[in-house]
Amino acid sequence: MSILRQVWIVFTKELRDGLRDRRSIMSVLVVAAVMPTLFGGMFTVMAGHSKDAEEMKLPVGGVENAPAFVDWLKQQPGVEVVAAPADPEQAVRDRQEDVVLIIEKDFAKNMARAIPAPVKLVSDSTREGARRKVTRARNLVNAYSSQLASLRLIARGVAPTVALPVRVEEVEVSSAQERLATQLNILTLLLVIAAVTGGMQIAIDTTAGERERGSLEPLLLNPVPRGALAAGKWLAASAFGCASVVFSMLLTVNVLRRVPWQDMGIRFRVSDSDLMSLLALILPLAFFLSAVTIFASTFARSFKEAQGYMGMLILLPLFPGVISMVYPLSNRRWLTPVPIFGQYALAADVLGGKPPGVTFYVLAGVSVVACALLLVALTSRLLKRETIIFGR
């Protein structure tokens, strides 16, 4: 019997056993479904806060003290001036209002004397959802103040530009797609998590689980090379990992397409070719992560011990994802042959509208599969050790 035939037999056997374990399959599906839904809800809330800041109701107290100022506020797009509560500070503290503008009684008198007129912005800096509204209210007050300052200078025969020795002009060189990519880095992270968790259960069960149940010893008594056994188990775990990645992508994309990105000034533009490119990057990574899981689980004496190892190993794919959020990996294609880092770097380019050439896809895939094959070979050598087979 050829070695490929033996690998196929082990693969189908482990795959069939894995499909029978419905609890493991449900746990994988739940993890793959909860994370996209959670982040989709988070982005939806962020979009809602952005929309509320653009179309805000601004409670103003002391309207009679500055009618011209209040009329100016009413003329601003998206601003609706409403009456302030009786106790502004308590209303903000009780989260009945996000921000309250209070115009002091001396406002008109100070304006007539050309000295700073007092106003108060009552807010709570610990409330993340209210920060956009507070910023918008502060910008409105500053804009009105700047206009009055310019009018005062003109009335005195002084050009307003005299008070502005330096004018800043911002030049945005990033494209809308690249700005979207900074938000969609979470998509790559979710797919990598799916690649890890998808094959984790079957990888642990076929190594540490069989060792704990005592079924590993009779399995190794069969005239099958250790390499064929390790490869079959690895391919079965990889198949579950790949299926989890595909399921997570379909669910995540459908969730993200329902997020009102336009409320945050972002246009969601991810084509089917971009999604296929992401799959081409992440699917080979599932083979590598399954090989890592099987290799680590082989050392475990029980299923519970192997799960303890997984708690540490799951940081391996998460660490580059966290780094990519604070230190962008786009346009760093020299990371391509580095497992996990290369996938994050190329995925950032794909989502940013700058897909790499085919050579980079091939290099990234070959590097992670080569590392996976090395780990499978090391696992097959571990299966020859008596301390691994008979150790309890």
What pLDDT, in 10s, does the model give residues 24-36? Answer: 677 777 777 777 7
Alpha-helix runs per DSSP H in 167-259? 176-204, 210-213, 216-220, 226-256
> In sequence order, what are the residues at sequence separation of 6 or more whose Cβ sits closer than 8 angstroms to the Cβ of residue 102?
60, 61, 62, 84, 88, 119, 120, 121, 122
Q: Does the structure show a pLDDT above 60 at 176?
A: no
Mean pLDDT of 185-191: 77
- Environment class of 222 (CB within 10 Å of its CB; exposed 0-12, middle 13-18, buried 19+): exposed
Q: Which of 27-41, 188-202, 207-221 shows the highest mean pLDDT?
A: 188-202
CATH class of 55-163: alpha beta
Residue-level pLDDT at 314: 77
Q: What does the alpha-carbon distance between residue 237 and residue 202 come to, in Å, rounded to a whole number?
A: 6
**How many other CB atoms are there within 10 angstroms of residue 131's CB atom?**
17
Span 310-331, pLDDT tens digits: 777 777 777 776 776 666 666 6
Mean pLDDT of 188-216: 79
Name which residue leads in pLDDT, 29 or 193: 193
**Which bin fits 265, alpha (ψ -120 to 50), beta or left (φ > 0)?**
left
Residue-level pLDDT at 374: 92
Mean pLDDT of 146-169: 74
Q: Does the structure show a pLDDT above 80 at 165?
A: no
Instruction: Using a pLDDT cut of 70, give the percent of the chain over it.
Output: 80
CA 367 to chain centre: 25
Instruction: Using a pLDDT cut of 90, give the percent of the chain over it.
Output: 1
Residue-level pLDDT at 266: 61
CA 120 to chain centre: 37
> Could you report how far apart the first and last alpha carbons of the chain are, in Å?
33
Q: Please, what is the average pLDDT of the chain?
A: 77
Mean pLDDT of 356-366: 84
Mean pLDDT of 74-95: 83
Secondary structure (DSSP) of 96-115: S-SEEEEE-TTHHHHHHTTS
Q: Does the structure show a pLDDT above 60 at 177?
A: no
Mean pLDDT of 107-132: 80
Q: Does the structure show a pLDDT above 80 at 54?
A: no
Residue-level pLDDT at 264: 60
Tokens of 287: 């083979």
**Where are the chain's structural domains?**
3-46+177-389, 55-163
Span 257-291, pLDDT tens digits: 777 666 665 666 666 677 788 888 888 888 998 88
Residue-level pLDDT at 391: 56
pTM of the complete model: 0.66
Strands 99-103 and 119-123: antiparallel
What's the angle, vertex CA 343, arms to CA 237 and CA 257, rounded to 5? 90
Closest CA to 349 of 134, 191, 184, 198: 184
HSE-CB of 86 using CA atoms within 13 angstroms: 0
Report the range of poorest mean pLDDT among 2-6, 75-79, 329-333: 329-333
